[in-house]
Amino acid sequence: MPQIAQLAETFSSQIFWLLVFFGITFFVVGRGMVPRVMDTMDKRAKQIADDISAAQAARDQADKEEEAWRTRENENRARAQALIAEAKAEAAAKSEKKIAAAQKRLDKKLDEADAELAAARKDAMAEIESVATDAAQDIVARIAGIKVTKPVASKAVKESLANG
């Protein structure tokens, strides 16, 4: 077979050129490009790791500052609550004093009004008794034709008013 014979003649030449191209490819890509790519990947991995550690440090610092802020705010809130409670207590005490003074004034006015009312009631009752006594004398004189003295009529009116 002539093709096999021809293959044997070109076989060594093909292998030579195959080795030359693989060698060139190995040195250009394997020795030239791959180390650069690997170096770039290592730099990026280191940069990412540094960024992550810096971000974690910033987060830890922010957490510490937030905790300190919360502590300060809680202390401020507690002080404000204490001030509010103190102000409420002070206002309540002042209000209590004012209310007590007003209550004393009202009690005094109420007592005066009760006394005036009692005096007016007494005067009114005396006036009613006087009018009723005069009316009783006049009625008895007209109906019965009897003249009744003022003390007797007054006594009868007082008994009638006492019994209702």
> Distance between CA atoms of 17 and 157, rounded to whole angstroms?
158
Is the pLDDT confidence value at 106 over 80? yes
| pLDDT attached to residue 124 | 87
Q: Residue 49: how many CA atoms within 13 Å on its side-chain side?
A: 6
pTM over 0.85: no
Q: What is the per-residue pLDDT across 50-68, written as a single tens digit (0 to 9) for each?
A: 999 999 999 999 999 999 9
Q: What is the per-residue pLDDT across 107-152, written as a single tens digit (0 to 9) for each?
A: 999 999 999 999 998 888 888 888 888 888 888 888 888 888 888 8
> Distance between CA atoms of 158 and 101, rounded to whole angstroms?
44
Angle at 76 between CA 71 and CA 78, to 5 degrees: 95
Q: What is the per-residue pLDDT across 77-98, written as a single tens digit (0 to 9) for each?
A: 999 999 999 999 999 999 999 9
